Amino acid sequence: MRLDKFLADNSQYSRAQIKRLMHREEVTVNGVVVKDPSVKVSDEDNVVLEGQTMRSIGLRYFMLHKPKGYVCSTDDPEHMSVLTLLDEKDRFGLHMAGRLDLDTTGLVLLTDDGQWSHRVTSPKHDCPKRYRVWLDEPLADDVEQRFLDGVQLHGERHLTKPATLERIDDTEVLLTISEGKYHQVKRMFAAVDNKVVDLHRESIGGVALDPDLAEGEYRPLTASEVAALG
């Protein structure tokens, strides 16, 4: 990685400030003063800034309580990305381990660890996701069984994998699925002639949305939460 990016990612300074510090000979790599911000450094290099050895902050993992009106992407010209809710350096270096729709609320995991997010989202890993779902019509009696058996979604080749449904009341349910097809929950209820009016993700694998996080708030995952999904 470029030296100025490494230093900006791992210090309180911006890239412009780092360049000025380099010009003032405040940066050495392996004992040699370096003034060129484009020099490439790796984990093996000893980088010193203002007399302090710099360590990589390392991989980052967060949970966010997503509000409605934000998108889990960075290329939507009309809506703000959930990444804008984070007050972190290099926040656009993070990505979402599983997306929620614009009008869905709840747990979103964010990281810069691509292998970890792959394990969370890959259908091969069968990571269960629990959603609280509010429905337009009272739930029909056979839906628990139909979701266990798998339903045919429009345009898909295979039935959905077995999903479990817990009835809270006629129009509020908890649904646990282990895949993440496009608009999957909404399409599953459409397949049984109902309609989702509100959707909230409560948990992914063993990690539940922290009840202390208000909509729009986030916190780092604990080491055991990272390990539970990794």
Number of residues that bind ligand URA (CB under 6 A): 8
Does the protein bind ligand URA through residue 221 (CB under 6 A)?
no
Give the DSSP letter string of 89-143.
TTGGG-EESS---TT-EEEEEEES-HHHHHHHH-GGG---EEEEEEESSPPPTTH
Residue 186 binding ligand URA, by CB under 6 A: yes
Beta-carbon-side half-sphere exposure of residue 31 (alpha carbons within 13 Å): 0
Structure tokens at 200: 């909230």
Q: What is the closest distance, in whole angstroms, from the C-beta atom of residue 158 to ligand URA in the complex?
A: 17
* 187: Cα separation from own chain's centroid: 22
Q: Is there binding between residue 184 and ligand URA (CB under 6 A)? A: yes
Is the Cβ of residue 23 or residue 183 nearer to ligand URA in the bound state?
A: 183
Does residue 101 have an active-site annotation? yes
- Between residues 104 and 194, which has the closer beta carbon with respect to ligand URA? 104
215 binds ligand URA (CB under 6 A): no
Among 88, 101, 202, 215, which residue sits at the site for ligand URA (rule: CB under 6 A)?
A: 101
For ligand URA, the closer CB: 69 or 220: 69
The DSSP 8-state label assigned to residue 40 in this structure reads B
CA distances from 70 to 91, 157, 192, 220 (A): 15, 30, 28, 20
Q: Give the whole-angstrom CA distance, residue 16 versus residue 161.
A: 51
Q: Which of residues 195-214 bind ligand URA (CB under 6 A)?
A: 199
Binding residues vs ligand URA (CB under 6 A)? 100-101, 104, 183-186, 199
